[in-house]
């Protein structure tokens, strides 16, 4: 991808190449919906676009919005609840879109170094920050990077996260400790370091 900031153009290096913005489309859309709501005087709102949640201020009674974090090993339940005000919470993981072949799951989040699905022990990453667009991009990037490398990226963008691994551990960044409530005793909460 060749970007020319002076001209405001983006072009692809080879014929037949395409860009798919599906990885950030819902985050972008939720942010635009919030802008429209503000323009028309809406004071309190929450929007959910298939797991991408964005809040406007708090609930009308002044309390924080309670946003469920889905259990990646049991999609019919959730592992905990996030308290949010005026932020987005967006989750990426390999448990929603996948197929199985010979007893192995192949999900849709691809490691750019190998061309195969990412296998790093994480089941999901939920990123919380002020921008739905940024949270959407960061959640996928953090899932690909793995928790250790993702922490530096989150700090750079002033974002927080909830990491869930395949061993049923929930790792919280420092800003999530007081904003996440575990609801499933089969999981263990730890500090992301």
98 has a pLDDT exceeding 90: no
Distance, CA of 37 to CA of 29 (rounded, Å):
12
CA dist list (Å): 62 to 10, 88, 130, 181 = 44, 18, 18, 19
Q: Would you state the pLDDT for residue 59?
A: 96
Per-residue pLDDT band at 117 (split at 50, 70, 90): confident
Phi then psi for residue 146, to 5 deg, are: 90, 160
Residue 93 has pLDDT above 90, yes or no: no
With H, G, I as helix, E, B as strand and everything else as coil, classify residue 175: helix
pTM: 0.86
Query: What pLDDT, on a 0 to 100 scale, did the predictor assign at position 28?
Result: 87
Mean pLDDT of 57-78: 94
Q: How confident is the model at residue 109 (pLDDT cuts 50, 70, 90)?
A: confident
Alpha helix (H) ranges present in the chain? 22-39, 132-145, 147-156
């Amino acid at each position: 991808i060749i970007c020319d900031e002076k001209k405001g153009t983006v072009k692809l290096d080879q014929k037949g190449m395409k860009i798919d913005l599906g990885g950030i489309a819902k985050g972008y859309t939720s942010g635009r919906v919030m802008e429209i709501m503000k323009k028309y005087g809406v004071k309190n709102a929450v929007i959910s676009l298939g797991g991408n949640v964005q809040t406007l201020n708090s609930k009308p009674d002044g309390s924080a919005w309670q946003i469920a974090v889905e259990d990646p090993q049991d999609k019919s339940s959730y592992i905990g609840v996030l308290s949010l005000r005026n932020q987005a919470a967006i989750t990426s993981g390999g448990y929603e879109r996948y197929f199985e072949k010979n007893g192995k799951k192949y999900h849709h989040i691809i490691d750019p170094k190998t061309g195969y699905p990412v296998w790093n022990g994480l089941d999901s990453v939920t990123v919380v920050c002020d921008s739905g667009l940024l949270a959407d991009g960061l959640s996928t990037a953090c899932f690909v990077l793995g928790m250790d490398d993702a922490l530096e990226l989150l700090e750079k963008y002033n974002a927080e996260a909830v990491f869930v691994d395949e061993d049923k551990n929930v790792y919280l960044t420092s800003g999530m400790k007081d904003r996440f409530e575990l609801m499933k005793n089969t999981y263990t909460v730890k500090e992301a370091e």
